[in-house]
Amino acid sequence: MLLHKPPNCGRNYRLSVHPTISDEIKERHPELHVRSVLFVCKANAWRSPAAEAILRKMAAKEVSDNRLHIDSAGVSEVCPGQPAAWRLRWSAFRRGYRIRSRARRVLRTDLVRFDLVVVMDRAVMREVRLQHSRPTSKLALVSDFLGPEWPDEVPDPAIHGPSCLDTVFEMLETACHSLHQLITQLAK
């Protein structure tokens, strides 16, 4: 687990402890059943495809009648239809993940179709909220699934450079593990 500030990655660190999103979501939405998750970042080239691959691998290990639909999208149309960045795909491959998704823009219908939309940072969250005035999907930040020792936002390798890929993967693996546990608990 990462307990120090990585170089060139993320600036905002949490100072206070807050309840986990699992407990928060279960209290506010006892009827919620998560059968679909959409991860969203800026261009769908770095962070959200990685999160999609990580959660896919975790969900694939379970033999269940309740199949989980997992996808990723971006808020900009920088590279629609393109595969994820090659450095991300290589880093993912070295960690045992296969990234096969192609970049696409988040659609207004996604905010109704998916049970849970998990966003990488606050700027992207603002853009997602502009897509739909009353989304039926539950919106959350990746940091909602992390402890207080983690940065508030997942650093963007497109901005900070590929040197922060290890941090990105550590954050996403930890958050996806928490998210997977929440989905499993809600399915019971």
pLDDT tens digits, one per residue of 148-168:
899 999 999 999 998 999 999
Q: Are 89 and 113 in contact (CB under 8 A)?
A: no
Residue 34 has φ and ψ, to the nearest 5°, of -90, 110
* The predicted structure's pLDDT at residue 162: 87
List, for the chain, all residue ranges whose pLDDT scores fall below the cut of 50. Answer: 1-19
The pTM score is: 0.84
Reported for 159-162, long-range contacts at CB under 8 A and 24+ positions apart, including other chains, are 160/8, 160/9, 161/8, 162/87, 162/88, 162/91
* The predicted structure's pLDDT at residue 14: 37
Domains observed in the chain: 31-187 (3.40.50.2300)
* The predicted structure's pLDDT at residue 103: 94
Say how many C-beta atoms besides its own lie within 10 A of residue 86's C-beta: 9
Token pair 């997602």 in the structure block, residue: 128
* The predicted structure's pLDDT at residue 22: 58
* The predicted structure's pLDDT at residue 7: 40
* The predicted structure's pLDDT at residue 34: 86
* The predicted structure's pLDDT at residue 4: 35
Say how many C-beta atoms besides its own lie within 10 A of residue 166's C-beta: 14
